[in-house]
Amino acid sequence: MLTNQEVAEGLLEKFGSQVFDFEEPYGLLTFSTTREEIIPAMEFLRDHKTYQVIFLTDITGIHYPDNAGQEFVVVYHMHSFIHNFRLRIKVALSEADIHIPTATGLFASANWMERETYDFFGILFDGHPNLKRILNIDEMDYFPMRKEYPMEDATREDKIDALFGR
Amino acid sequence: MADIELLPHNVPSQSELPELVEELTTLNLGPTHPATHGIFQNILKMDGEKIVSGEQTIGYIHRAFEKIAERRPFYQITTLTDRMNYCSSPINNLGWHMTVEKLLGVEVPKRAQYIRVIMMELARITDHIICNSILGVDTGAFTGFLYVMQKREEVYEIYEEVCGARLTTNMGRLGGMERDLSSTAIRKIHEFIKSFPPVLRELEKLLNRNRIFMDRTINVGPISLERALSYGFTGPNLRAAGLDYDVRVMNPYSSYQDFEFDVPIGQNGDTYDRYMVRNEEMWQSLRIVEQAINNLPEGPYYADAPEYYLPPKDEVYKNMEALIYHFKIVMGEIDAPAGEVYHAVEGGNGELGFYLISDGGRAPYRLHFRRPSFIYYQAYPEMCKGSSLSDAILTMSSLNVIAGELDA
């Protein structure tokens, strides 16, 4: 049984200050890294003799418009079947320089997950073989999951935020 | 007779024929094609009847669930999850409730957990009978489909008894179930446990060792375990390739650890193995339902969490606190704690994950569905490369790609 402590120490030993913000929300090891180290970190976890985090569960994005310089976060979920161990990696990106290397070289499943993230957040995965929209139409000229696109029609007066919704 | 010429003068000899040009045909399979069982398009490059390459276009029924969810209170998101894998909606519904319960820290009583297990396993059976019997239809055996459809109808009647709806179930509530199992529901579940095995055996007899079916499915659309893992396969499709990964066993939720069941696996990851794994899983699901209904614990069917669980209606008229909670819940004025949760359940097609980020508001700050169909469907061109069109259709059918889940 692999513990969060063990993996965190292994990562710190290998990557030093390039991995930071270790947390355990609801028991799931979560840490952040930089976009330069994300692919080496995933490769390290995948090819490590004991950890064997061989499965990429999910890639998605989050938009924090108020975090100046770190508006976007790309979240990776990974899973080691042999130890039944899950972990989460986050990479913060700024809106001005929204590039991150692709993980398609490590996992074939990253292809569509990254396309989906690009489609909804406009995050550019450098080196992706086919980075184009996947669920939305090609002609769309905005990224709909960004927070600046509100769900409701802003001119409506019958639905007040104080009473309904957020 | 000797000077009769056998060939007319105008036929050129072999050496004078113009050189044959190899040309690939482009074939549009979909968006609406009876064999795709859903709205998605495959643009296939064909060399005669062989597929050279394929490209998928998806998103035809994309409904922006993740965006809509950012405006909705937690309990209203259940109706969105219904519409993802509509062959097994209760799994989606209850998986979503469990995610929010994990965020809120609500402990669900044992009875509700068992009722949930019963409903989720019945949903798995309906999901798998659709996939397997449709696979039969695609190979040309229509009869089996009609036999098992009748049984799906009976499961839908059980859904109706438990939650009032049949297809888009909106089952369960945060903290438990919306009502206890009625005596009719219990009777119907017992009836189903008794009447389903003969029907499933009939379907097995029709297909499992059927020469035509085996010839059509064995070694069709195979995928190696290594590629399956790289492509993010989960659920029956991964198990058919030979890895016994099942969320119910690895991360038990809703008291799955109390039940005894086997995880069937295949060897070759081909269409026949996927069929057989699903077939065996139905027997295992039936085993779980039987154990759960026979050992159904007594007690409440919802958690003691008045700020999240709607109070009984007669209480609302008599009791001030109940009225307040009723009003707050209905108006969506319940604040959730800030937090970040990933919860996975074993859906009909594999690991169905909910990644929920709450900033302490009344709706999720961000909600992402990890939809198994979406992730493994990208392997489809690789799986059907070099096979004939009719085999490619069987491969797609056995992958059980559900358009609603694919597009969310």
pLDDT tens figures, B318-375: 999 999 999 988 887 788 899 999 999 999 999 999 999 999 888 899 999 999 999 9
Alpha carbon distance A54, A78 (integer Å): 8
Q: What pLDDT, on a 0 to 100 scale, did the predictor assign at position B37? A: 79
Q: Which helix (H) or strand (E) holds B54?
A: strand B50-57
Q: What pLDDT, on a 0 to 100 scale, did the predictor assign at position B211? A: 93
Per cent of chain B over pLDDT 90 is: 70
Verify whether the Cβ–Cβ distance A108 to B227 is below 8 Å: yes
CA distance B137 to chain A (A): 29
In one-letter notation, the amino acid at residue B267 is: Q
Tell which of A1, A23, A26 to mutate to test the B interface (max B CBs under 10 Å): A26
Confidence of residue B299 (pLDDT cuts 50, 70, 90): very high
Sign of CA dihedral B261, B294, B113, B374: positive
End-to-end C-alpha distance for chain B, whole angstroms: 77
B174, B101 contact by CB (below 8 A): yes
Mean pLDDT over residues B260-284, rounded?
94
The model's pTM is 0.91
Q: What pLDDT, on a 0 to 100 scale, did the predictor assign at position B19? A: 72
Tell which of B100, B378, B407 to mutate to test the A interface (max A CBs under 10 Å): B378
In the structure encoding, which two tokens stand for residue B95, read together?
């998986």
Residues of B in contact with A111 (CB under 8 A): 378
Alpha carbon distance B63, B61 (integer Å): 6
Verify whether the Cβ–Cβ distance A54 to B357 is below 8 Å: no
Q: Hey, what's the torsion of the CAs at B223, B213, B55, A98, to 10 degrees?
A: -40
Closest CA to B296 of B132, B155, B165, B110: B110
Residues of A in contact with B245 (CB under 8 A): 81
Q: What pLDDT, on a 0 to 100 scale, did the predictor assign at position A60? A: 95
Residues of A in contact with B102 (CB under 8 A): 26
The tens digit of pLDDT for each residue in A35-52 reads: 999 999 999 999 999 999
CA distance B308 to chain A (A): 16
Nearest-CB residue to A26 (from B341, B366, B368)? B341
Mean pLDDT over residues B52-67, rounded?
91
Closest CA to B290 of B259, B314, B311, B324: B259
In one-letter notation, the amino acid at residue B99 is: T
Verify whether the Cβ–Cβ distance B71 to A151 is below 8 Å: yes
Reply yes or no on whether the pLDDT at A113 is more than 90: yes
* Distance, CA of A40 to chain centre: 15
Reply yes or no on whether the pLDDT at B17 is more than 90: no
Alpha carbon distance B353, B327 (integer Å): 31
- Torsion angles phi and psi, residue B152, rounded to 5: -65, -40
Nearest-CB residue to A55 (from B229, B341, B376)? B229
Verify whether the Cβ–Cβ distance B232 to A60 is below 8 Å: no
In the structure encoding, which two tokens stand for residue B31, read together?
């968006």
Alpha carbon distance A128, A108 (integer Å): 11
The tens digit of pLDDT for each residue in B82-108 reads: 999 999 999 999 999 999 999 999 999
What SS3 state is found at B325? helix
CA diameter of chain A: 60
Please name the residue ranges forming H helices in A18-109.
38-47
Alpha carbon distance B384, B213 (integer Å): 18
Tell which of B229, B331, B380 to mutate to test the A interface (max A CBs under 10 Å): B229
- The residue of chain B nearest to residue A73, with distances taken between CA atoms, is B366
CA diameter of chain B: 116
Least confident of A146-160, B60-74, B171-185, B241-255: A146-160
CA distance A157 to chain B (A): 16
Q: What pLDDT, on a 0 to 100 scale, did the predictor assign at position A152? A: 65
What ipTM does this complex have? 0.92
Mean pLDDT over residues B382-396, rounded?
91
Nearest-CB residue to A112 (from B64, B102, B374)? B374
Relative to beta strand A124-126, strand A99-101 is parallel
Q: Which residue has the tokens 């993740």?
A: B66
In the structure encoding, which two tokens stand for residue A63, read together?
């938009």
- Average pLDDT of chain B is 90
In the structure encoding, which two tokens stand for residue A149, read together?
């696109």
Q: What pLDDT, on a 0 to 100 scale, did the predictor assign at position B408? A: 83
Closest CA to B405 of B125, B40, B104, B126: B40
CA distance A69 to chain B (A): 19
Nearest-CB residue to B64 (from A54, A58, A144)? A144
Nearest-CB residue to B339 (from A25, A88, A120)? A25
CB neighbour list of residue B351: distance below 8 Å, 6 or more residues apart: A57, B234, B235, B247, B344, B345, B370, B372
CA distance A54 to chain B (A): 8
Please name the residue ranges forming H helices in B295-371.
313-318, 320-330
> CA of B192: how far to CAs of B150, B155, B189, B196, in Å?
11, 8, 5, 6
Confidence of residue A117 (pLDDT cuts 50, 70, 90): very high
- The residue of chain A nearest to residue B243, with distances taken between CA atoms, is A81
Verify whether the Cβ–Cβ distance B379 to A84 is below 8 Å: no
- The residue of chain B nearest to residue A143, with distances taken between CA atoms, is B67
Q: Which helix (H) or strand (E) holds B81?
A: helix B78-82
CA distance B247 to chain A (A): 10
Burial class (CB in 10 A: 0-12, 13-18, 19+), A158: exposed
Q: Which residues pair with B370 in a beta bridge?
A: B353
Verify whether the Cβ–Cβ distance B378 to A163 is below 8 Å: no
Verify whether the Cβ–Cβ distance A166 to B362 is below 8 Å: yes
Verify whether the Cβ–Cβ distance B232 to A56 is below 8 Å: yes
Residues of B in contact with A57 (CB under 8 A): 232, 344, 351, 353, 370
Confidence of residue B71 (pLDDT cuts 50, 70, 90): confident
Mean pLDDT over residues B170-183, rounded?
91
